[in-house]
Structure 1
Amino acid sequence: MNDQKIRRPRQADIASLAGVSVSTVSRVLANEPGISETVRRQILKVAAEHGYPVKPATEAVAGGLALIASDGVTGGLSVFYEAIVEGLRAGAAEAGMPFEVRMVREDRITPDAAREYMQAAAAEGLFLVGIDPNEMLRDWLQDTMVPTVLVNGIDPGMRFDGVSPANFFGAYQATGRLTKAGHRRILHLSGSHRQTIRERIRGFEAAIAAVPGAEGRFVSMTLQGSASREAHERTAAILAEDAGFTAAFCMNDFIAVGVLEAVTEAGLRVPEDFAIVGFDDLPCALMTNPQLSTMRVDRAALGREAVSLMLSRFRDGTAPARHICQAVIPVAGGTVVNVEPRE
């Protein structure tokens, strides 16, 4: 008779049998979020069949509330943020997080207003979507230790978790597409109202500085009305100066559409006489002639990453703040000569 004690299976054994990594097994057995239900069920099935003890499910996840700035022109949700909200909803649903959204006027978000919104939604965590908290709100969030994630936002003081596109590197790459195509006098049409946008300005300036003989001109926009109309007017005035600018990197695709209209009206060929690169890869980029060359932001992924940061903050409210920066991807289009292989 064999009295040898049967060895308890290890997580490595479960991983091998389920065809996944040991870290994935570890996360599932610890009931951590962020794993697909198909993979989770498979791992739990293998673990049960081989006698590995499984913890019971954790208690319900605390709720999250997203405050999102309404579009100043339409009073509705900016097209840029629609996919971000969908990513937030999807990530929250996967994690079992109760989740609500409120559109708000950014200048009216006081500590009292934020507290009331959160109480009404029974939320413990706050997503600030496209909103840079003012000093009063920052102080309140820090003092009360409200779990907070900036979505498409950056806190220069790293007091809050955040997720954003790689604004500096994306702008550097976008401008590089123009210099690689031979352009040396390049406009940058942008506002400077948010830290994320200032990162794009820095990226533009760095890309210009990296090329001998290149010259950049920052064209400040008010962004008080139609961005496309304002960009059209500013570009037409600059072209009338005949200052020798042959290209433009635009803060977003709406601005790029206005630049393209002005350039075409001036009788210039695109991209032969004047090249344009936008940012964000919004639906309007597909509607221009030629199709707009831009930089794609995976907005839904930003929302999902924000949920992941919030879940981590729920687990450890005193951990150092983290910022997740996602790469942006060039979209070829036809408004700049493509000097690299197409996607």
Structure 2
Amino acid sequence: MNEIKTKKLRQADIATMAGVSVSTVSRVLANEPGISESVRQHILKVAAENGYSSRTTGGAQRGTLALIASDGVTGGLSVFYEGIVEGLRAGALDAGMPFEVRLIRENRATADVVHDYMQTAGADGLFLVGIDPSAELRAWIEDAAIPTVLVNGTDPQLKIDGTAPSNFFGAYEATTRLLNAGHRRILHLTGSHRNTIRERIRGFKAAIWEVDGAEGRLVAMSFQGSATQEAHELTTEVLAEKAGFTAAFCMNDFIAVGVLEAVTEAGLRVPEDFAILGFDDLPCALMTNPPLSTMRVDRVALGREAANLMVARFRDRTAPARQICHAVVPIAGGTV
């Protein structure tokens, strides 16, 4: 007997046996378009021969729908959400849980619209990815007892399951890195209505408050257009004040790129004269000169954990809500 049959089969196992990528297996088993029919049939044959079909048919078949804030996934943060969707798809696949993804503008995520989306998808469970539910949507979720998981989101009322990076402690650690490097006047470029970003602001302030003589300034961003360009313009304005700021902690790496450009154009050396720290560890962090120092968010893990939370919620809809918080890992670069 093939040794791999003696353990729980995962999509990585199928990919290895079929000689294709894990993402290709995920797309085929999720019945997504864009895969040639010959490849699709080959993967399905390998999966069936190794017991995948029999494993999933005995599991929960309640479908789930992931609604993703379209402003994020179609803009600069698309790579961030790609990782989350990969994790969601993999977790749903391992659980034998049907899974679909749809984009939605956050201001259109009303109870009626979400209900229609779920009916069309035949979904019993709802993932809100990068979306904090409005009071009206929350009331519907609670009244209808819809199994719901916030992905890259937190619920201040502790009534909805969620997965998120450790935004408070990640920001606290990031700011502490700058303080430990000797900086005492630090900018924080940020701006969002989301609970997760408010937690990063809290972490930044907490680290500043703990060090005598340290001063922090919040630089509010509007995100009208390119975040990198806006960060560049705002940083240029602050530097022109000659107020003595020597470091910046940025809400994400795209913002950090704009700060780096502005600092370099001002004739300052990085990191000798000015230090910069990003967040998320996106691919662009390795493309700057010097490479960005940042904080890594495990986006795939956030998606996988969200799928696990949904399975648990299907099993017990009355259990207390759980919030899974993933550590954010410091990544060394050349800007601190």
Which TM class, normalised by the smaller chain length? 0.7 to 0.9
Which string of whole-angstrom CA distances, capped at 9 and with x for unpartnered residues, describes residues 163-214 of structure 1? 0000000000000110000000000000031000000000000000111111
Alignment correspondent of 1:114: 114
Aligned-partner Cα distance in 2 for 1:73–1:160:
23
Aligned-partner Cα distance in 1 for 2:239–2:8:
53
Letter in 2 for 1:199: E
Alignment correspondent of 1:126: 126
Which string of whole-angstrom CA distances, capped at 9 and with x for unpartnered residues, describes residues 131-165 of structure 1? 00001100000000000000000110011000000
Alignment correspondent of 2:285: 285
Alignment correspondent of 2:251: 251
| Structure 1 unpaired stretches of 5+ | 1-27, 29-34, 39-56, 337-343
Matches within 5 A, 1:214-233: 214-233=214-233
Q: Normalized against structure 2, the TM-score is what?
A: 0.82
| Structure 1 contact 70–77 (Cα < 8 Å) conserved | no
Distance 1:73 1:126, change over 3 A: closer
Matches within 5 A, 1:1-343: 36-37=8-9, 58-71=58-71, 74=74, 78-336=78-336
Distance 1:175 1:77, change over 3 A: closer
Q: Over the residues paired in the alignment, what is the CA RMSD in angstroms?
A: 2.1
Alignment correspondent of 1:339: none
Q: What is the SS of the residue equivalent to 2:233?
A: helix
Q: Normalized against structure 1, the TM-score is what?
A: 0.81
Distance 1:75 1:191, change over 3 A: closer
Distance 1:308 1:73, change over 3 A: closer
Aligned-partner Cα distance in 2 for 1:277–1:76:
18
Structure number with higher helix proportion: 2
Aligned-partner Cα distance in 1 for 2:73–2:59:
43
Q: What is the SS of the residue equivalent to 1:207?
A: helix
Which string of whole-angstrom CA distances, capped at 9 and with x for unpartnered residues, describes residues 62-113 of structure 1? 1110000112695697221110000000111111000000011110111111
Q: What is the SS of the residue equivalent to 1:263?
A: helix
Which string of whole-angstrom CA distances, capped at 9 and with x for unpartnered residues, describes residues 34-80 of structure 1? x8438xxxxxxxxxxxxxxxxxx845331110000112695697221
Distance 1:263 1:283, change over 3 A: same
Aligned-partner Cα distance in 1 for 2:208–2:217:
10
| Structure 2 contact 73–81 (Cα < 8 Å) conserved | no
